[in-house]
Amino acid sequence: MLLRFLPVISTTVLYALCYLISVFKFDVEFHFKAIPYDYLLQVIIGYILFAFSRRLWIFLVIQALVMGILYVGNAIKISFFGGPIMPDDVYALRSLLLILDGWRFFAAAVPLAAIAGLLLYNFSMRHWSSYLASVAVFLFGITLVYEPNSIVGPLDKFFGNSVWDQRSNYLWHGATVYSIQESARRIAEADVVPDQDIAQEAAEKLQLTVPQKVASTQAFTPRNVHIVLLESFWDPNELKKAKYKQNPLSPEFRKLWKSAGYSHAMAPVFGGYTANSEFEVLCGFPVVKDNVKFERQLLNDVPCLPHILAENGYKTMASHPNVPVFWNRVNAYRRIGFQTYWSLQDFMQDDMNREFLSDESLYRQVMEKIQPSLDAHQPVLDYIVTYFGHWNYPLSENRPNKVSSPSPVEEVSSYANTVYYKSREMMDFINEMRKRDPDGIIVLFGDHLPFLGENFAGYVDSGVLAANRSDFTPDMFKFYVSTPMLIIDGKRGPVKFGSMPLYQVPKFVLNLLNFNEPTIMDYTDSMPDMRVRPLPGLHFNLTKDQKVDLCKEPPYSAGCKASADWLRDVLVVSNDLFIGRQFTRPKHPPMEPSEPEPVTADVAARQGTAAHITQ
């Protein structure tokens, strides 16, 4: 008799334990009304697992692992990134496991592997309840896949839904209801490939919103373009209460940055998902959803900036000293026009900060690789993604701590020391590149703000962010995505452009090159009198007078309505170009494959053999 109630007992004990960890360790607490429904669903899931189980102790282990991931895992993600686990995070799992090492890797991988292995080992159809559970799982799965709106609609009506505030959704719905609700929503709102009429209608509307500009009378002049994505690069001096005893940022960089008016990039992400910042700065379209664009939303060969420059005589090269498949970069880089991709095996690991190659070594080795092209006056697109700067900000023995802070948040000091070296090594690169390539265009930007403690602790201490994204002011949302960006126009020096969304950078670069042919970047050129920064579930407009017009949910202001309509058309054209049939693609001749450079034995031994990914 007691056996029948085992799932109730085990669910009650595990629910209480996981919830207490969530509340007291991570300050993630459900609304009281959510708990009964969330608990009841866990009891049902417990009985389903119980019905399929041969051994009771294995059932208890599986249930503990599942609930631990669902409740403690969500609490961890909320404390790090401000939002819960989303369905698309499943697709990012492979990349997460690739970047973790040591105990962190085992902490993430072992529970998932254990659940899969134990489910298979313990599976049994031993009783009529097993067949009943099979029918329930089958019917739910069919409904989820083929009629997701029949799940989303009633749950939205009963529990409510905030498009822009997933943290609040999680707290008001509970982990189980939230996971079911958002999984069904993900299927119901999956990106649709538009037909020709819809795609062309959206394209025509976007072309009407682009301000009419007089074409440059100067001819297209190929110049080298060097784009450097700086991992987690930001100015710690924004933290006024950190009271650093030494300036973390290089004074030489600050002087150069000041001459550009302290210009900023507005990134699509916070604390991670670097690939989305890459997508924007290379392809000129905004990321509007909480997924990694390189992973599943880049299926076509697309005339992004690398492709455009390659078909106009450039050598296009990407460098990133990480495993090549991370964030699907091998396929993504090839599809957007890079001819060569230098990844982990192509760099000597000669100056490491734990597993991260130093920027100093990366810059030096990239310079060696591109020098033959510079000497031959072969125009290049030299794209560098730095690796040093990842959380938890390790330093090598030859990079001792230089900056200290009384802040109780550990990352406030460790990050400042990372920036101390990162900014100085970057300035050495800038100076050397300007000496070797005085006419080249140099673009440097931070891909996202750094993680500075759970629930934005380092930022909250200085009053620049609230602990909960629900409490952000409009200016906080702008702060949340703003990183330093510097664009150096050859001998003309740094350019003043204010705050620019990353997706407008490639068009800006093409304008500096006097490139006047139609491109896909024309669709996302500036709207009149505003710059639009989409984020998952909301967007904001930065007006000419630098005011932030935050657009959460209808009813919208006039400016928000205009930008929301614009973003809707942008998404249609984006889907057509990147996953659809490309009805809106400007006509360009196909890119001619370039011959790989011969690699001598000594060079191969020193550098490895680059991945030539010519289309």
pLDDT in tens, 205-253: 998 766 665 555 688 989 999 999 999 999 999 999 999 988 999 999 9
| pLDDT per residue as tens digits for the range 565-606 | 999 999 999 999 999 999 999 875 544 444 444 443 333 333
Residues 205 and 175 in one domain: no
State how far the Cα of 562 lies from the Cα of 539, in Å rounded to an integer. Answer: 12
| Cβ 567 vs Cβ 523: under 8 Å | no
Same domain as 357, residue 460: yes
Q: What's the number of domains the chain is made of?
A: 2
Give a yes or no: residue 511 inside a domain.
yes
**Secondary structure E strands in 315-454:** 315-319, 340-342, 352-353, 356-357, 380-385, 441-446
pLDDT tens for residues 336-374? Answer: 999 999 999 999 999 999 889 999 999 999 999 999 999
* Shared domain check, 504 and 416: yes
Residues 486 and 362 in one domain: yes
230 domain-assigned? yes
Judge whether 166 lies within some domain.
yes
- Per-residue model confidence (pLDDT) at position 188: 86
Q: For the domain that residue 217 is a member of, what is the CATH number?
A: 3.40.720.10
| Confidence at residue 598, expressed as pLDDT on a 0 to 100 scale | 41
Q: Which of 516, 506, 562 is closest to 539 using CA atoms?
A: 562
Residue span of the structural domain in which 271 resides:
196-610
Q: Assess whether 177 and 216 both reside in one domain.
A: no
Say whether pLDDT at 263 is over 70: yes
Tokens at 50, concatenated: 């119980």
Integer Cα distance of 318 and 331 in angstroms: 13
Sequence-ordered alpha helix ranges (H) in 467-557? 474-481, 505-512
Determine, yes or no, domain membership for 615. no
Asked if 130 and 232 sit in the same domain, the reply is no
Nearest alpha carbon to residue 56 among 46, 67, 43, 41:
46
pLDDT digits (tens, 9 = 90+) for 525-569: 878 789 999 998 899 999 988 899 999 988 888 999 999 999 999
Q: Does residue 78 sit in the same domain as residue 153? A: yes
Decide the pairing of beta strands 548-551 and 530-535: unpaired
Residue 107 binned pLDDT confidence (cut-offs 50, 70, 90): low
More confident residue, 339 or 390: 339
Strands 441-446 and 225-230, sheet pairing: parallel
Domain shared by 503 and 564, yes or no: yes
Of 133, 155, 188, which residue sits at a domain end?
188
Are 303 and 283 within one domain? yes
- Say if residue 254 is in the same domain as residue 111: no
pTM of the model: 0.84
Largest CA distance in the chain: 88
Q: What confidence score (pLDDT) does residue 1 get?
A: 54
Asked whether residue 600 is assigned to any structural domain, the reply reads yes
Among the three residues 188, 205, 231, which one is the final residue of a domain in this structure?
Answer: 188
At 463 the pLDDT is: 93
410 shares a domain with 379? yes
β-strand 538-543 against 380-385: which pairing, if any? unpaired
Specify if 550 maps to a domain: yes
Query: Is residue 211 located within the same domain as residue 99?
Result: no
Single-letter code of the amino acid located at 173: H
| End residue of a domain, out of 188, 206, 221 | 188
